[in-house]
Chains A and B, each alone.
Chain A
Amino acid sequence: MRFIRAWITPLIALFIAFAIGAILMITQGSDPVKAYQSLFTTAFSTQEGLAKTFGKATPLAISGLAVVIGLRAGLFNIGAQGQLISGALAAAWAGYAITGLPMIAHVPLCLLIGGFFGSIVGYIAGALKAYRGIHEVITTIMLNSIVLQLAEYLSNGPLKEEGSIIARTPEVLDTAKIGSVAGLPIGFFLSGLLALGVWWIFKKTTTGFRFETVGKNKNAAWYAGIAVKRNTVFAMVACGALAGFGGAVETLGVVGKFEPAFNQGLGFDGITIALLARANPLAVIPGAILFGGMRGAGPTMQFSAGVSPEIIDLILAIVLFFVTAPIISRILKLKNDTTTQVTSGWGSN
């Protein structure tokens, strides 16, 4: 019963969003059945499509987890995007610039470097929140833009591939590449492990309990001897490290280099996934697979039914709306179907 309750709102939200998407397609003179059919068969039944789906799902899952950690600690991390980009770029640099290492050392090193650079971005937001009382939503959004500009500068300047016309870094070395097994990217399994890890931390460890107590009642946390500021910073650092790690996985496993044009919107999909999963780390994985499939196979709708792939943006936005707005729970009269609370003042701690 509890299980059904947790899932019913997201499922209905998905259904409504697809229905609205279908109506829009009809008004544009396209055939929604054809479009959805091609979307789902491409995404979930062809070998190639599945590889793409899971490839796309990997960074989505990890950025979703980065948002989940924040939500649990009472922080709304809109900055997964920037954290991820900085991780992706750093990993690309480490992937081509550090030479002479065996794969077994090079890959983990690149991942760690990616995580580290992501965590720096997270740290800035966390410290500004804890010590200056600036809401993380504003800082992380600003940091997203700053990091993007920096990445553009670096990949078009000091770190640019020689002779390339577009802004991008050189290809990472083979020793830094993450391959696939059975047609599925290894990175995806990594994201599954991370989800388990995050779940376990919140379920079983004192660190998780600290984060969660700070998220639920700062005053009681302080009173019970939990260092609120330190844990706020720490949680943001963890978010950033995770997202940076996700960026690194994306670079080493999918793109093979850093290109600013890639990675767009991953952080925002991460927010939608995290809210869809109700901040439950394990539920992030199916959400990410669904989103990955839609993102990966979206363009096929253009060929098969003439539907512009941006419909996916709209459908996902509608999903978010119905998951977070208390409409469905009101109609179904679900009790205790509370949406997440993250609001705190701009200038307070």
Chain B
Amino acid sequence: MVGVVTKMTKSVMRSKKTIYLYLVILAIAIAYTINSVSTVAVAASSITFGLPLAMAAMVGIMCERTGVVNIGIEGTLLTSSFFGFFVAALSQNLIWGLIAAIASGAATGLLLALLTVSWKMDQIIAGTIVNILATGLTSFFYKQGYSLPAIFPRWSIPGLAEIPFLGRVLFQSGPITYFGLIFILVLYFAIYHTPWGLRTRAIGEHPSSADTSGISVLRIKYTNVVIAGAFGGLTGAYLTLELVGSFDRGFSAGKGFTALAIMIFGRWNPIGALLAAVFFGFAQALANQLMIDGLVNIPGPFINMLPYVLTIVVLAFSAGKVRGPAAAGQPYEREKA
């Protein structure tokens, strides 16, 4: 583990892209000296806005790396924030809400796996079914007038929280934020450096070569899609139990789709997607801050559409150039190998 990490760090230090890292640090430093309050606020909101997108993008990455296109992330987010909210509100216990969110997210993953892996349905239509079922379910069972006992508290990490800038931006966050960030890093190492990751990538690229190597394609696909669903459930829990504290019809507001764009922008790589998501979060946070500081006056609808416009623009420049897992979207049929 340590070996891998040091090797990684070394290769990052040597990589040409490091120049961008320095530029970003420089820009932050300049902004911080000019206006430290707004800079911290923007940076912190970039993480707050970006994290759910990054987490949702992990759902997409885990699925597509195993050859399943998941357009139902939106439905997973909606379902899990619904169950997270109502179970927490009814039991007046956030932990039950968290469990319910994760379980319901996993259930949406299971449904997607059943439709696409076992029944070999068109994956785009299967994802759409997940979304429409989620919308129907949550709008029928939705009731007004419930509220949470609280939201997950922020945990200041002793020592780290006192670091200027970084402390406020990263180390005074809620538990799901910490877990989500760690999970993204772990997923990165798992995908590129563990047997599970190698097998997963092989299935996403060329499933019959995994099959002929004695790997159970079916089992890995199911496992990954269900775990991805559970993680999507955690994302839903983050939105409702840690970030917002309420639930409404259509609560997920397209984040599941934006996450797909982020997955592509981040080249199906967890770290890449995390950076892409923070960039999205940053764009939104910056627009908000400029409004708050009274520097610009953009009508609300234009601020609201920013992530969507950004999604299209980013895809227009990044899609086509990057290659996703070759077998994503195709059901694997042994007898046709």
Q: Which one of B14-22, B210-218, B315-323 contacts A?
A: B315-323
Stretch at the interface among B120-128, B189-197, B233-241, B269-277: B120-128
Closest to A125 in B: B312
User: Within 8 Å of chain A (Cβ to Cβ): is B157?
Assistant: no
Question: Which of A198-206, A281-289, A336-344 faces chain B?
Answer: A336-344
CB-defined contacts of B254 to chain A, threshold 8 Å: 141-142, 145
Residues of A within 8 Å of B71, CB to CB, are 137
Prevailing SS type, chain B contact patch? helix
The distance in angstroms between the C-alpha atoms of A277 and B129, with both chains bound, is 16
**A100 nearest CB across to chain B (Å):** 32
A343-B122 contact, Cβ under 8 Å, with A132-B320, A137-B71, A142-B308: yes
24 A-B pairs, CB-CB below 8 angstroms? A132-B315, A132-B320, A133-B319, A134-B320, A142-B254, A142-B309, A145-B304, A145-B305, A149-B301, A149-B305, A150-B305, A153-B299, A157-B299, A311-B140, A314-B136, A321-B129, A321-B133, A324-B122, A325-B119, A343-B124, A343-B125, A345-B329, A347-B264, A349-B320
Known: A310-B140, A324-B125. 4 other contacts (CB 8 A): A134-B312, A153-B300, A342-B124, A343-B330
Beyond A313-B139, A346-B264, whether A340 also contacts B125 by CB under 8 A is: yes
B328 at the interface (CB under 8 A from A): yes
- Contact between B69 and A141 (Cβ–Cβ < 8 Å)? no
Give residues 102-158 of B contacting A (CB, 8 Å): 115, 119, 121-126, 128-129, 132-133, 135-137, 139-140, 142
- Any A CB within 8 A of the CB of B257: yes
Quick check: B301 and A347 within 8 Å, CB to CB?
no
Q: Does A268 contact B (CB under 8 A)?
A: yes
Distance of A327 Cα from B111 Cα, bound (Å): 13
Q: Are A128 and B312 in contact (CB under 8 A)?
A: yes
A56 to B261, CA, bound (A): 34
B319 x A317 contact (CB < 8 A): no
Q: State in angstroms the CA–CA spacing of A318 and B115 once bound together.
A: 14
Closest chain-B Cβ to A177's Cβ sits at a distance in Å of: 28
Beta-carbon contact of A344 and B329 below 8 Å = yes
Q: A142-B308, A145-B308 are in contact. Are A272 and B324 (CB under 8 A)?
A: no
Q: Say if the beta carbon of B179 comes within 8 Å of chain A.
A: no
Chain B residue at smallest Cβ distance from A24: B140
Is A111 interfacial (CB-CB < 8 Å)? no
Cβ of A219 < 8 Å from any Cβ of B? no
Cβ-defined contact, A153 with B320, below 8 A: no
Q: State whether A149 touches B302 (Cβ < 8 A).
A: yes
Q: Is the CB of B312 within 8 A of A326?
A: no
User: Of the candidates B133, B257, B309, B319, which one forms a contact with A132 in the assembled complex, judged by CB atoms under 8 Å apart?
Assistant: B319
B311 at the interface (CB under 8 A from A): yes
User: Please, which residues of chain B bring their CB within 8 A of the CB of A91?
Assistant: none
A132 to B264, CA, bound (A): 13
Contact residues in A for B311 (Cβ distance below 8 Å)? 138, 142
Q: Is the CB of B315 within 8 A of A128?
A: yes
B305 touches A318 (CB 8 A): no
Q: How many A-B residue pairs have CB under 8 A?
A: 148
Q: Across the A-B interface, give the 9 residue pairs with the lowest CB-CB distance, nearest first.
A: A317-B136, A314-B136, A153-B301, A133-B320, A149-B301, A149-B305, A313-B136, A142-B308, A343-B329
Question: B299 near A146 (CB under 8 angstroms)?
Answer: no
Interface membership of B187, Cβ < 8 A? no
Contacts of A316 in B (CB 8 A): 132, 136
Which residue from B139, B299, B308 sits with its C-beta under 8 Å from A310? B139
The tally of residues in A whose CB lies under 8 Å from a CB in B reads 52
Closest to B139 in A: A310
Interface residues of A in 149-192 (CB under 8 A from B): 149-150, 152-153, 156-157
Is A302's CB within 8 Å of the partner chain B? no
Distance between Cα atoms of A3 and B323 in the complex (Å): 43
Task: Tell me, yes or no, whether B260 is within 8 Å of chain A by CB.
Answer: yes
A308, B121: Cβ atoms under 8 Å? no
Contacts of A349 in B (CB 8 A): 320
Residue of B129, B254, B323 with most partner-chain A CB within 10 A: B129
Are A325 and B257 in touch, CB under 8 angstroms?
no
Set of chain A residues within 8 Å of B309, measured between Cβ atoms: 142, 146
Residues of B within 8 A of A268 (CB): 132, 135
Kindly state the separation between the CA atoms of A324 and B264 in the bound complex, as whole angstroms: 27
Q: Is the CB of A343 within 8 A of B320?
A: no
Complex Cα–Cα for A150 and B311 (A):
16
- Measured in the bound complex, the distance between the Cα atoms of B304 and A149 in whole Å is 7
Docked CA distance A275–B132 (Å):
13
Interface set, chain A 257-287, CB cutoff 8 A to B: 268, 271-272, 275
Q: A321-B129, A343-B69 are in contact. Are A142 and B257 (CB under 8 A)?
A: yes
Which of B133, B304, B324 contacts A346, CB < 8 Å? Answer: B324
